[in-house]
């Protein structure tokens, strides 16, 4: 599942960024429209959800690297590291969200 989510994140990136960039450089008016759209709360929420996916994937990747080194393979440490991945990813998402919405 981790590899599939990583591949989807990687493959979706150009599908999102290229059209947005192409639209924004057409004219000053389209740039202003894109700037306004990116500043909208709906776009920020979508970005926040995407960043949660990235943060979770990144933290889970570090966890899987440690598991490949046979660190924490037993049931209890594995469950703790899984909970830690979720907690750290959520904390990073909250920090990013606070910065994104201008609370910090």
In this structure, the number of other CB atoms found within 10 A of the CB of residue 95 comes to: 12
Q: What's the chain's length in residues?
A: 104
57 labelled as ligand-binding?
yes
E strand map for the chain: none
CB atoms within 10 A of CB 64: 14
Annotated binding residues for heme, written as ranges, equal: 57
**Residues of the binding site:** 57
């Amino acid at each position: 599942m981790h590899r599939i989510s990583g591949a989807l994140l990687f493959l979706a990136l150009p599908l999102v960024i290229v059209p947005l960039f192409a639209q924004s450089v057409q004219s000053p008016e389209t740039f202003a429209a894109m700037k306004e759209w990116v500043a909208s709360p709906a776009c920020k929420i979508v970005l926040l959800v995407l960043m949660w996916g990235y943060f979770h994937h990144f933290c889970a990747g570090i966890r899987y690297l440690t598991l490949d080194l046979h660190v924490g393979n037993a049931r209890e440490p594995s469950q703790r590291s899984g909970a830690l991945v979720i907690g750290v990813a959520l904390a990073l998402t909250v920090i990013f969200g606070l910065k994104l919405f201008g609370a910090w």
